[in-house]
Structure 1
Amino acid sequence: MNADSEDPNADEQYHLEVSADDVAETVLLPGNPERLEKIVAHWDDHESRAHHREYRTATGTVEGTPISVTSTGIGSPSAAIAVEELARVGCKTFIRVGSCGALQPEMNVGDLVITTGAVRQEGTTAEYVREDYPAVADHEVVSALIAAAERLGYDYHTGLTMSADSFYAGQGRPGFDGFEAAGSSDLVDQLTEANVANIEMEASAICTLATLYGLRAGAVCTVYADRDGGEFRVEGESRAAETATLAVHLLAKMDERKREEGVDSWHAGLSLED
C-alpha cells in the first residue's frame, strides 16, 4: 500500500493550500477562522494567502518581524493537520490563540491563561506517541507570552491545560436532552483539585507535535467560561491575539540575542533591555 496516496509532501500543502513562500517561520493558530481578522488587526500589515475548508492563512509583519496566522477549526485532529503541513513548508514556532474555560477560583472571565503543559485528553496524539509522553509548551514561547502580557498590563495565569475532544461530554457538560457521559459529573472537580488551570481543545496536540518535531509551541487563551462560578461571557476576545502578536516580536528579539551571545537556549541571564 502506498503511504503517500495524498502526496502530503508536495510544495503546496493538501489541506492548507500554502507553500513555503506563503508563511513566516512563526504562526499564530486560532481555532475560529473568523478570529483571523481580529488577529491581523494588531499587525502593521498583512496579506491573505489561502483559504481552504476551515484553514485561513494570512502573513504580515509586526514591528518588522514576519508573522503568519492559520486558523485550525475546532479540535486536535484539524489542529494537528495544520501543524503537520505548516512544518512541511518551514514553520518553526506555533502559538495557539483561543478561548477556554477556567477551573481555578482566582480566575475571571476575560483573564488570559498561558499554557505551560497539557493533559492529553484528546485522542489525536495517541496516534503519534505513547500515552505517558508529556505535552509541554516550549519555555521560550511561555517566557515571551508572559513578557507580552506583562507589557500589555493584562491579567494572566500560567499552568496546565486540559485538551478535550468534545465541547460537551468531554468537558463535563451535559449532552442533548440532559445526557451525562460516564465520569463527567466529577471531571471538573478532579481537574480543579489537580491544579489544572483551564480546558480547551487544541493545545496538547499542538505542543506534542511541536516537541516531536523539534519545533516550538505554546498557547494563550482568553477565559470565556468560569467553570468554578458558572459564568460564560465573551469578554476580552482581542487580549489573547494582542498578547500572542507581541510575543512573536519578542521571540524574534530573543532569538537575535541568543545569536549575539552564542547560546542555543534563552535563559534568565539574558535580557531584551539594552
Structure 2
Amino acid sequence: MAGDSEDPNADVQYHLEVAADDVADTVLLPGNPERVEKIVAHWDDHEERAHHREYRTATGTYDGTPISVTSTGIGSPSAAIAVEELARVGCETFIRVGSCGALQPEMTVGDLVITTGGVRQEGTSDEYVREDYPATADYEVVSALVAAAERLGYDYHTGTTMSADSFYAGQGRPGFDGFEAAGADDLIDELTEANVANIEMEASAILTIANVYGLRAGAVCSVYANRVTGEFRTEGESRAAETASLATHLLAKMDAVKREAGVDRWHAGLSLE
C-alpha cells in the first residue's frame, strides 16, 4: 500500500504543483523565477497558476495564442524536473529562455543565440540516454525563433550550445581561492575553435529529454558575456522573452497550416502570412 506519502504521478505535479488545466501546450522555460514577470509583460494577459520552490508558473495569451511560462531554477537537474512534470500534464513544446556566455568574438552583449544543438557537458541527460545520443533542437522551433527574431529586428546567431553543470569550474572560471579545474585553461579556446556558439546550464538536457519523449524543444538566450573578448553586461533579457513569445504564436500558426495542408511536419513549401 502506498500510504499517505506524496505521489509524483498524481494529477497535480509534486514539484511544480500544476495540473493539466493550468498550462498551455507550449511553455517557456526561464531559469530565474523573477524572469517570469519580465516574460509575461509581453503578453496580452496572464495569471499565475503556481509557485513552489524555484518553479513559478503563469499562463496567458500572446497575440491570442495560449502560452505558459515555468521557471526552472539554475541547472539541468531542476530543468529536467520541470520538463518531466509539464509533459505529464500535456505540454508538448518547450522553449528555454535564458542568458549565456558567447564563445565567438563577433557576438555582442545583447545579441540572441538560438540553439540548434547541444554539447551535453551536463550530467542529467546521461541518466536518460547514452552519452553519444545527440541533443538537437526541433527544427520547427528553431525556424519559429529565427522568424520571430527577424520580425522583431533583433540581432541573433544560430549554433551549438554547450551546457555545463557548474557555473565556475565547468565553464573555465576560477573557483574559490583561485582553484582551477583540470582543462580549464584550454576549455574556452577549444570550444571556440570547434565553432560552439555559447555556454549555459540547461539547454542540452531540455533538448535531449524532449527528443527522448518525442516532444518539441528549443532555446533562445541573451548574451550577457563574451568569454573571448571579456565583455560583460546584463542586457537583452527582454529580447529573448519577446522572441520566444512571438515564436510560440508563429508555431501555433505553423501547426494550423500543417493541419490544413494535411502534413505532419513544417517544410519549405509551406508559408506563413
Q: Per the shorter chain, which TM-score range? A: over 0.9
User: Does residue 52 in structure 1 map to residue 48 in structure 2?
Assistant: no
User: Does residue 79 in structure 1 map to residue 79 in structure 2?
Assistant: yes
Question: Corresponding residue for 1:142?
Answer: 142
For structure 2, list consecutive stretches of 5 or more residues without a partner in the other structure: none
Amino acid aligned to 1:251 = L
Moved beyond 3 Å, runs of 4+: none
TM-superposition CA deviations, 1:150-179 (whole Å, max 9, x none): 000000000000000000000000001110
Question: Corresponding residue for 1:105?
Answer: 105
Alpha-carbon distance, 1:8 to partner: 1.8
Q: Tell me the SS of whatever aligns to 2:180.
A: coil
CA-based RMSD: 1.1
Question: Corresponding residue for 2:191?
Answer: 191
Looking at structure 2, the residues matched to 10 and 48 of structure 1 have their Cα atoms a distance apart, in angstroms, of 21
**TM-score (structure 2 length as normaliser):** 0.98
Amino acid aligned to 1:89 = V
After superposition, where does 1:16-31 map in structure 2 within 5 Å?
16-31=16-31
Alpha-carbon distance, 1:6 to partner: 4.9
Question: Corresponding residue for 1:10?
Answer: 10
Amino acid aligned to 1:38 = K
Looking at structure 2, the residues matched to 205 and 123 of structure 1 have their Cα atoms a distance apart, in angstroms, of 8
Q: Tell me the SS of whatever aligns to 1:28.
A: strand
Matched pairs, number: 271
TM-superposition CA deviations, 1:149-208 (whole Å, max 9, x none): 000000000000000000000000000111000001100000000000000000001000
Alpha-carbon distance, 1:55 to partner: 0.2
Q: 1:138 to 1:99 in 2, by over 3 A?
A: same
Looking at structure 2, the residues matched to 165 and 55 of structure 1 have their Cα atoms a distance apart, in angstroms, of 19
Amino acid aligned to 2:45 = D
Question: Corresponding residue for 1:241?
Answer: 241
Looking at structure 2, the residues matched to 103 and 263 of structure 1 have their Cα atoms a distance apart, in angstroms, of 38
For structure 1, list consecutive stretches of 5 or more residues without a partner in the other structure: none
Question: Corresponding residue for 1:205?
Answer: 205
Q: Tell me the SS of whatever aligns to 2:113.
A: strand
Looking at structure 1, the residues matched to 91 and 130 of structure 2 have their Cα atoms a distance apart, in angstroms, of 25
Q: Tell me the SS of whatever aligns to 1:209.
A: helix
Question: Corresponding residue for 2:230?
Answer: 230
Question: Corresponding residue for 2:34?
Answer: 34
Alpha-carbon distance, 1:7 to partner: 2.1
Percent identity over the alignment is 87
TM-superposition CA deviations, 1:122-161 (whole Å, max 9, x none): 0001111000000000000000000000000000000000
Looking at structure 2, the residues matched to 60 and 245 of structure 1 have their Cα atoms a distance apart, in angstroms, of 11
After superposition, where does 1:118-197 map in structure 2 within 5 Å?
118-197=118-197
Question: Corresponding residue for 2:94?
Answer: 94
Question: Corresponding residue for 2:267?
Answer: 267
Looking at structure 2, the residues matched to 216 and 38 of structure 1 have their Cα atoms a distance apart, in angstroms, of 24
Alpha-carbon distance, 1:231 to partner: 1.5
Q: Tell me the SS of whatever aligns to 1:68.
A: strand
